[in-house]
A and B are shown apart, each in its own frame.
Chain A
Amino acid sequence: MEKARFFDVNRHSPNGMMSLEMNVDAAAAGQLPQQFLNLGWEQPMHHDAQFESALSSLVSSPSSNPQAANESTVMHELIGRLGSICNSGEATPTSRYHSAHTSYYSTPLNSPPKLNLSTMDIQLQGTGGLPIPGNQMAMGQFAPFAADPGFAERAARFSCFGERSYVNLENQFALPETGKLSRVSSSRSLKAVGRPQMGVHDNGKDAPLSDPERVDMEMRSKPDGRASGSTTLDESEFANSQEASSASDRTTAGVAKNNATKRKSAPKGKAKQVALLSSVTNPPKPTTEEYSDAKRSKLADINGVDQDSAVKPKTEQTGNAGEKQGKENNAKPPEPPKDYIHVRARRGQATDSHSLAERVRREKISERMKQLQDLVPGCNKLTGKAVMLDEIINYVQSLQRQVEFLSMKLATLNPQLDFNVENPTPKDMNQGHDPSSFLQQFHPLDQATTTFSYTQQPLNSIITNGVDAQGSFNTVDSSAHQIPCLQIHPLDGLAYSTSQVGNLRGNELHYVVQMGFVQSQLGAAFHSQSLPDEENCKSDKFSAQT
């Protein structure tokens, strides 16, 4: 039954899909890959029963342990089972396919372990991540699966789900795949996974990413990774990653987006989260559940990120998984692939689109609140939105009051400044010192930017003029006007302002220096800066001059 289905799926894969795989096999002779494929399909068949048994056992055990505390033990269990299964299946695939695979499947198999693990991570992202200590072990165990050409095929098929361009393919594959998907989700749902560590990635809005790249990103970002509960999941992920990598190149930004969406769907803190199936594109027709179901659901999880999120109700236990999911899948109308953010409904939560959107919104809001928490001092201990908001409001009000108070202080100090400026005697000294010191400050900048060299001459002339002018602003203005280079660009504004500043008291200059005022960036900043300020009429004067 399943075997037949598998074979049918393989045979009937659309040209696009097969072309993907054939590309992988392109190097090989035409017939050889086919043979390998045939053989490869047989391999998983043998494993199916084992996987099913493992899955059922896994399902039963994790279901009783929804807490995160037990997750590690569960995962260890799963990994052990996987190891046993893998070991049984290792010999055949490796012996048969390694030689061929090295030549034909070199590209997708380059980093299968890594991809495998990362796909697992991705898969588990939807469900929440479980820190799995046995990750490496799992990876090693799954290596033989990577070599399986059948997986490559399946990966090709499944990877197309994740890509919008392959909508048609998905349609075609919806039939056979849905059962697998439901199965996978059910098995996956049983694993309580911790919070996905996608904190690295912000909510990117980038194009969807191919699985392997996303997987790679996942790998890099989450070294501890998560072990999927079932080999089937790994296989599917593996296949996905392999095929996807061979199929297309996507940017890591897409990974970020996928990660972000996955993160959205699996917010933190949920000990047990079940990634619900979001049907990929079309209503999967009811098919017999099994290993293929598990695979499909898992792939759908990966690929669903790129698709419209029509969240399916939670998956059930293996016993009813296939049938129910088949029904649910049927009920879901086909949705055209759009650029939506895909969210997964979590276990025990409503799944209609409104609540989903609300959940996304709530997560966004909580994220922003966290950012605000970092900004406002002393908010780390506070919990609860209302208290936080109060604190934020208080902080903003206090900052505004501070601005007002400081402006008042500056207003009182202004006459002081005026006094110093108008006082000629100390001003001479100041001017003698300040411009030079100011110029000295500019020297390193001069090296950094050509703009400052540009300003050197005007400053010099301004300084000499300023010394003569005894600190009267009018004189400075006139002297500034005399310098032609000062007139046009924002850079000139810089020169002008620096000259103005040069006429201030020395402390002001020093302060300015301390502020990092004199930086190489300033030249660039002023080049790019437009000066629409209302307060400064000097620029108006200059524009009038030009």
Chain B
Amino acid sequence: MESKSLSRDCNNPNPDPKMAFHFLRALLHIQQSAATTSFTGRRRRIKRAAYASMAYSSGARRAWSRALIHTLRRRRQRQQRARTAVALPRRIRVARPPRREVAAADQAQVLRKLVPGGTGMEYCMLLEETADYIRCLATQVQLMRNVVDSVTNS
């Protein structure tokens, strides 16, 4: 993506235009339709918009962005289904076995949980994806900070 050609200097990456576009548009949309939603609802949507813009800026090139898009879509579909669904017959819930505590000492595991799509990756890929994810996260944070600053400085 040529728009993502921006400098890779680590700590203050320039927000790339595609990401900015997407995020701002999402923000506007939320503004539009969020007159009624609660604060938390709006916050959640903004957060999802942030992650979505991050993922779309990387597109399908990165494993983490693909996984992120997938999760976001799935969540959205679930939401939509929940909204439109008629009351389902009650199902007998099978008690799930309590989840075993994953040793936090296993750093790779922790990293896998943090980075979207990390569970399916081997260690080498995980590190690479982490690097790209960090870059994207940093630009997204920068972008959001800029938006907040511009709004607060009005």
Contact = CB atoms under 8 A, between A and B. Distances in A.
A545 interface: no
Interface in B102-129: 107-108, 110-111, 114-115, 123-124, 127-128
A533 B114 CA distance: 23
Given A403-B51, A536-B26, A515 B143 contact: yes
Interface stretch (A70-78, A305-313, A373-381): A373-381
Contact of B52 (A417, A501, A534): A534
A469 interface: no
Nearest to B137: A399
B150 A377 contact: no
Contact of A402 (B124, B141, B146, B152): B141
Interface of B: 1-3, 10-11, 14-15, 17-18, 20-22, 24-35, 39, 42-43, 45-53, 56, 69, 72-73, 76, 107-108, 110-111, 114-115, 123-124, 127-128, 130-131, 133-135, 137-138, 140-141, 143-154
Nearest to B48: A535
A403 B43 contact: no
A534 B55 CA distance: 12
Report whether over half of chain B's contact residues are helix, strand or loop; otherwise say mixed: helix
A529 B131 contact: no
A200 interface: no
A407 B144 contact: yes
A410 B144 contact: yes
Chain A interface extent, by class: 35 or more
Contact of A396 (B32, B115, B124, B148): B115
Given A389-B108, A532-B56, A522 B43 contact: no
A198 to B, nearest CB: 19
B128 A473 contact: no
Given A406-B141, A414-B30, A504-B28, A396 B47 contact: no
Given A396-B133, A525-B1, A497 B25 contact: yes
B17 A521 contact: yes
Contacts, number: 197
A494 interface: yes
Given A403-B47, A417-B151, A514-B150, 9 more contacts: A389-B107, A396-B115, A396-B134, A399-B137, A403-B140, A412-B39, A517-B17, A533-B26, A537-B29
A515 B15 contact: yes
A507 interface: yes
Interface stretch (A43-51, A56-64, A235-243, A361-369): A361-369
A331 interface: no
Contact of B146 (A400, A473, A514, A533): A514
A420 interface: yes
B43 to A, nearest CB: 4
A386 B106 CA distance: 10
A249 interface: no
Point out which of A396, A397, A404, A526 has the most chain B C-beta atoms below 10 A from its C-beta: A396
A507 B20 contact: no
A418 interface: yes
Contacts of B154: 416, 420, 505-507
A507 B2 CA distance: 27
A511 B149 contact: yes
B107 A535 contact: no
B140 to A, nearest CB: 6
Q: For the complex of A and B, list the 5 residue pairs with the smallest distance between their C-beta atoms, beginning with the closest.
A: A511-B150, A368-B127, A411-B43, A535-B26, A406-B144
A524 interface: yes
A535 B45 contact: yes
Interface string A509-529: 011101111010110111011
A517 B20 contact: yes
Contacts of B123: 365
30 contacts: A368-B127, A372-B131, A375-B135, A377-B11, A393-B111, A399-B134, A400-B114, A403-B144, A404-B47, A408-B43, A410-B147, A411-B46, A413-B151, A414-B42, A416-B151, A493-B25, A497-B28, A508-B150, A516-B14, A516-B15, A519-B17, A521-B17, A524-B3, A525-B1, A525-B18, A525-B21, A534-B72, A535-B48, A536-B29, A537-B33
A390 B107 contact: yes
Contacts of B51: 403
A493 B56 CA distance: 15
Nearest to B73: A534
Contacts of B31: 414, 417-418, 421
Contact of A374 (B10, B33, B52, B137): B10
A537 B30 CA distance: 10
A340 interface: no
A521 B20 contact: no
A345 to B, nearest CB: 20
Contacts of A374: 10
A11 interface: no
